[in-house]
A and B are shown apart, each in its own frame.
Chain A
Amino acid sequence: MNVVILGAGEVGYHIASRLATEGNDVAVVDQDAARLQVIADAMDVKTVCGKASQPSILEQAGAGNADLLIAVTTNDEINMLACQVAHSLFKVPTKLARVRESDYANHEGLFGRDDLPIDVIISPEGEAAKVVMGRLNVSSALDAREFFDGAIQLVEFIVRPKSKLAGLSLMELPEVMGDLSVYVVAHEHNGRWSVPSGDTVLLAGDSIYLTVSHLQLNAVMEALDLKCQSSKGQNVMIVGGGHIGYIVACELEGSGAHVKLIEFNTERAEWLSDQLNDAVVIRGDALDQKLLEEENIDKMDDFLALTNDDETNILASLIAKRYGVSHVVTLVNRSIYAQLVRQIGLDVTVSPRLSTVASILGFVRKGRIHGMASIADGNLEVLEAEALETSSILNTPLKDLAMPDDTVIGAILRGDTIIVPSGLVQVQAHDRVLVVTTSASVAAVEKLFEVHLEFF
């Protein structure tokens, strides 16, 4: 498949890297020659230096026979215009664009074959805000993701010494949980992530990922002595009133939380104050200790560091931790930081760029894989796949299934019912299956579901 990627930022880089390793012909367009050199050195792709919306540049990049155009430059208007050019001049069949400004995305009539020909609009801030809200709802979890349109939650937490899970092997888990069905899909011990088997023993200090039906989420969290409260009445402090901060503040306001939003830029703070109703907008520096004390940082239930600057976010989160805020969410864009922050005591991070990459790749893999996400610091992959009539996994009890190494089926959605798998369950045609596997085995899992990279 021929793919043209416009914009060689963090998102463009990761998508190019993934698509290139999967054997596609990728061309990357950017105005920054140095940035392109980094990409050219790192992977086997073609690079074109120039303005992404110009026809001649697109032609150079091979838009003429491209199957897919991904416009992820920093500029909304250039992304949209490039899609229009690719449509009118080069007849590129499928076009994805990143559009940050929600005002564009909210007007659906704007996009379509005869209007702005963009097939999929990706809003990184919207995605990131969704992830942040997900974390808030399960505030005691380290990580929380939604799959099957929210029907299944994948929740990460640490096994505490006094927890009833400590010292338990996974085979004994169903007895402890009673009629609540959970399934452990990932296990960390001493910094090493693995896909657990029946005789894995959970020790205090280990981290685990559980799949839980959203209906049972509250009950499960309660059974495990973990807090799971709605944000109603919570005190939440948000640092950074950019797109993400604003969206999160709006949603929190709607759910009845007491929100304090700190923004450095005076004009932006004025604008935020106009838009928000009950949230208190504070103009100031997030690292100003006096300001934070003035606003009672120590009384906050949640602290969300959502500025554009990774370092500010990390430092502000550390300060919040020091003041004893129990739940801190840190926005980290650079992947190197994302791995570092756990070691310095911050446990919940959100990476908007990586969530954008994940959702773009999810679309690219359109075939039978509906969604894909990296969990466990990027050590494991979660795939949301649909079983076809021809799939080799049908009608065999799971325990007899020849699965690739380190792979486990975490949940099955059949119609509207959620099945938490046991060894005897069989996958039927049209079931949607949540598979957790290692990066190395992704290709094998895709084979299992008979996914050919035939696109459109």
Chain B
Amino acid sequence: MHPKGVIWTLGVLVSLYGACMLLPIIVSFYYKAGHEAEFFEAGFIVILLGVAMMRYGGHAPKQLSHRDGFLIVALAWLILSLLGAVPFWTTGTLPSIVDAMFESSSGLTTTGATVLSGLDQLPHSILFWRSLQEWMGGMGIIVLAVAVMPLLGVGGMQLFKAETPGPVKDKLTARVTETAKVLWYLYLGMTMICALAYWLGGMGGFDAINHAMCTVAIGGFSTHDASFGYFDAPLLKLMAIFFMILAGISFTLHFAAALRGFSIRTYFRDEEFRTYTGWICMLVVLISLQLDWSGEIEAIDVLFNVVSIATTTGFAVSDYSQWPPGATMLLLMTMFVGACAGSTGGGMKVVRIMLLFRQGMREIRRLVHPHGVIHVKMGQQRIPPNITEALWGFAVLFIVCYIIIAALLAFTGVDMVTAFSAAAACITNTGPGFGGVGPAGSYQSLPEMAKSVLIFGMILGRLEIYTFFVLLVPEFWRD
């Protein structure tokens, strides 16, 4: 391990993040929203810290081992989540440190759970900072760092492997910095198109940009208390549905399709995509069947809410926690399925669920054919046993973590529905849950202890368990 190299790299990331904190100042000047000094103060503190870390680290590491990669990524998410709280604190928006940290990590992990209320009255700079955090967390700020800094090229693959979600890592191009750039170009392009679409659809400029950033990042922060429900136009809702589904698709697949002129066939040839879209369709049908349509439920709202939860975005246009128990149960389940691997979404990822299911089917087929040679396959590709074993480990750890977090929440005095749904919404990076933390409520009412546990849960979910837990094993620290 190279401790100085790790600290230097973290210093780079912290400085970069501090520089991002200066961006809301521009928004602040434009909208005369105030808080310029506070944001400058926050950015200054963070950049100072980053530079100090870089100075301590000395120089760019020549080589990063894969352990360094894990350490940098895990620590980066922790540190950046905490430092993101500084503007909330300096501006006095959230005087409680735990609240500020909760809001910040919820943003960076693209969860979208909020402790803030009265969003419509908040200054534009604060709102923009929340959205910006989600947007940076969506594609991964570390991927961004790899993309913009050739210095990180050497160990970039280690960071890349540790950060990007999904069981199968693809390098899109020969060099990892190029891959990271391609991913960010796609991400940036999609965000701009989305913002343009929202703006043409009738949103104000500020709302369009903020919502576009949070849609494409599969985040779910809104600039209004009513979330996306603030906008009544069906066209806007349809656009949001489209972009949420789009952002829930693997960016590797987007890239492959882009090379072939965005052909639909490339998408449909991908098994994960077919399962993902099929799953959402099935969910919409199953939930629609259970709803009482005689009330004032609108079809587009149902579609919107289902897609929002299924992609783990967390926007809401109506209070789905009032739906019948069968429907809410399905929503809770689909949080765990999540979006496609390699997308900006959370959850366990569709491909993992598929492979786990196939692994299960394989065991059953092996009972029928004791001498059969049966492999788990994805497309035409055999999935080697080490990957399926890792998958089982992941699934077990994910569920165990979920249960432990839910139990810890209950210990702090949260009721059961809220505890289970808040734990699920945070570990899958969805955002709103049911009960007290439903789309109509907020996480504000939870005890501070519960919020701390959830901060941990969000980061755990975003890092897909392993990257975090690997730091807790003694072997990791031995040479």
Contact = CB atoms under 8 A, between A and B. Distances in A.
Interface of A: 263, 266, 269-270, 272-274, 277, 280-284, 291, 294-295
20 contacts: A263-B373, A269-B373, A270-B373, A273-B373, A273-B375, A273-B382, A277-B377, A280-B372, A280-B374, A281-B372, A281-B373, A282-B369, A282-B371, A282-B372, A283-B373, A294-B369, A294-B370, A294-B371, A295-B369, A295-B371
A269 B372 CA distance: 9
Interface in B365-383: 365, 369-375, 377, 380, 382
Nearest to B381: A274
Contacts of B370: 294
Given A272-B373, A282-B369, A294-B371, 4 more contacts: A270-B373, A280-B369, A282-B373, A294-B369
A274 B382 contact: yes
Contact of A291 (B371, B373, B374): B371
Contacts of B375: 270, 273-274
**Interface-centre pick from B369, B371, B373, B380 (highest chain A CB count, 10 A):** B373
A237 to B, nearest CB: 12
Contacts of A277: 377
A284 B382 contact: no
Nearest to A273: B373
Interface in B194-243: none
A243 B377 CA distance: 22
Nearest to A281: B373
B369 to A, nearest CB: 6
Contacts of A280: 365, 369, 372, 374
A263 B377 CA distance: 20
Nearest to A262: B371
Contacts of A284: 371
A281 B380 CA distance: 15
Contacts of B371: 282-284, 291, 294-295
A266 B370 CA distance: 14
A282 B372 CA distance: 4
A338 to B, nearest CB: 31
Nearest to B374: A273
A286 to B, nearest CB: 12
A266 B373 CA distance: 9
A290 to B, nearest CB: 9
Interface in B357-403: 365, 369-375, 377, 380, 382
A277 B380 CA distance: 8
**Interface-centre pick from B365, B372, B380 (highest chain A CB count, 10 A):** B372
Contacts of B377: 274, 277
A291 B373 CA distance: 13
Nearest to B370: A294
A269 B371 CA distance: 11
A270 B369 CA distance: 15
Contacts of B373: 263, 266, 269-270, 272-273, 281-283
Contacts of A270: 373, 375
B95 to A, nearest CB: 60
A277 B379 CA distance: 9
A291 to B, nearest CB: 6
A276 B190 CA distance: 39
Contacts of B382: 273-274
A283 B369 CA distance: 10
Closest 3 CB pairs between A and B?
Answer: A269-B373, A273-B373, A281-B373
Contacts of A274: 375, 377, 380, 382
A261 to B, nearest CB: 9
A280 B365 CA distance: 9
A297 to B, nearest CB: 13
B274 to A, nearest CB: 16
Contacts of B372: 280-283
B28 to A, nearest CB: 59
Contacts of A281: 372-374
A277 B375 CA distance: 10
B290 to A, nearest CB: 35
A12 B30 CA distance: 88
Nearest to A295: B369
A281 B369 CA distance: 9
Contacts of B369: 280, 282, 294-295
A288 to B, nearest CB: 9
A273 B370 CA distance: 15
Contacts of A269: 373
Contacts of A272: 373
Contacts of B365: 280
A277 B373 CA distance: 12
Contacts of B380: 274
A132 B373 CA distance: 24
Interface string B266-286: 000000000000000000000
A280 B372 CA distance: 7
Contacts of A295: 369, 371
B365 to A, nearest CB: 8
B224 to A, nearest CB: 50
